[in-house]
Amino acid sequence: MSMIEHFLMESPLGTLTLVNTNGVLSGLYMPDHLRGPKAHSLGSRTTTGFDVVRSQLDEYFERKRVHFEVPILLHGTAFQQSVWKLLQPIPYGETRSYGELADLLGNHLAIRAVGLANGRNPVSIIIPCHRVVGSNGSLTGYAGGLERKRRLLELEATDLTLQKQFSLS
């Protein structure tokens, strides 16, 4: 039987819900997360643990960390798992299009399926689904909300050109 618990962490994006299954990170959700888990599936709330994840997220939000080194446990279909695996190596500050990911899977027609799998990523930020954009660079769908996607991309932008590209102003 799995031991599931969750922790609420304050962040620049609002209160994040961190979930672990048997001590391994299995979820990271934002407030009003589309297709997020039901409250009863989060397990009991804890006020301890999650130290490594919290520390790395804090460093990320302070622009002191560009990749995460935490074990994760992902529950999803084989196709979702294949998409999530392609997301993980997208470098900090870079983006890929849904079409590029579909091509990497060997089926350019799978763009919509890639988008759906991307939107069901259970470990936001750490698996950087926010780094996937439309073929023209537009910000499209994000389970945490487009405003948060824009803020994450702005946070990661290393030059002013990119920061302006993702700015809504």
Contact 61, 155 (CB under 8 A): yes
Q: Is position 129 annotated as part of the catalytic site?
A: yes
Which residue, 120, 163, 115, is CA-closest to 33? Answer: 120
Contact 6, 41 (CB under 8 A): no
Q: Tell me the β-bridge partners of 25.
A: 20, 72
Contact 16, 9 (CB under 8 A): yes
Rounded Cα–Cα distance for residues 6 and 108 (Å): 37
Catalytic residue among 90, 117, 129, 152: 129
For 117, the token pair is 């799998």
Residues taking part in catalysis? 129
